[in-house]
Amino acid sequence: MPNPNWETDEDGNPINPPAQEPRGQRGIMANLHYLMGTDREAAAAIQPALNHRMQAIRLVDGDPGEVQIDFRRHRLTLWDRGQSCCESRYIRTDDDLAYFAGAMLRNIEISAAEEIADSVVHDIQFLRIITDRGTITFVNHNEHNGCYGGFVIDARLEEI
């Protein structure tokens, strides 16, 4: 059964929610993703993880950074793969991730946020992990010169 927050195509396949429209131009990776409609692959990776207990959740720093959610036998990894060239992408959270160990993953949502007034274009987007203990909010950042906007939140589910 598709996630209720995703639209479905005519065959019932889940379609990820649309990404935030960037203030500047979309970067090449964000454009390719938008044109090819590869959100379906991310939704298909997330779907089997829903309604399972999370053993651990962590934020792996880097450019762009990753959110990793461990289950008993699988790991769900979420990241922004929209990197084109010269932009800086990273993820942050203020939430206590250890508190959510053992929580049931209910849903994953993406929503737009206000831009940060800065000397560069600074797009932000929320990635919300909904659990039976509450919501974990991650903030995806993309700092660029106006030519590399947009986000491409992707997901991978693998055995561990």
CA distance 97 to 99: 5
Q: Kindly tell me if the per-residue pLDDT of 134 is higher than 90.
A: yes
Report if residue 31 sits inside a domain: yes
Nearest to residue 82, comparing CAs of 18, 34, 15? Answer: 34
Q: How many domains does the chain have?
A: 1
Contacts of 142 (CB under 8 A, 6+ apart): 22, 80, 82, 87, 88, 89, 122, 123, 124, 125, 148, 149, 150, 151
Q: What is the pLDDT of residue 3?
A: 42
Report if residue 9 sits inside a domain: no
Report if residue 2 sits inside a domain: no
Q: Please state, rounded to an integer, the average pLDDT across all residues of the chain.
A: 78
Taking residues 24-38, what's their average pLDDT?
49
Report if residue 7 sits inside a domain: no
Report if residue 40 sits inside a domain: yes
Report if residue 4 sits inside a domain: no
Q: What is the pLDDT of residue 48?
A: 94
Taking residues 31-48, what's their average pLDDT?
68
Q: What is the pLDDT of residue 148?
A: 66
Q: Which domain holds residue 55?
A: 14-159
| pTM for the structure as a whole | 0.75
Q: Kindly tell me if the per-residue pLDDT of 43 is higher than 80.
A: yes
Q: Kindly tell me if the per-residue pLDDT of 56 is higher than 60.
A: yes
Quickly count: other Cβ atoms within 10 Å of residue 94's Cβ. Answer: 8
Report if residue 3 sits inside a domain: no
Q: What is the pLDDT of residue 41?
A: 79
Q: What is the pLDDT of residue 51?
A: 95
Cis, bond preceding 64 (omega within 30 deg of 0): yes
Taking residues 109-124, what's their average pLDDT?
76
Report if residue 5 sits inside a domain: no
Q: What is the pLDDT of residue 117?
A: 64
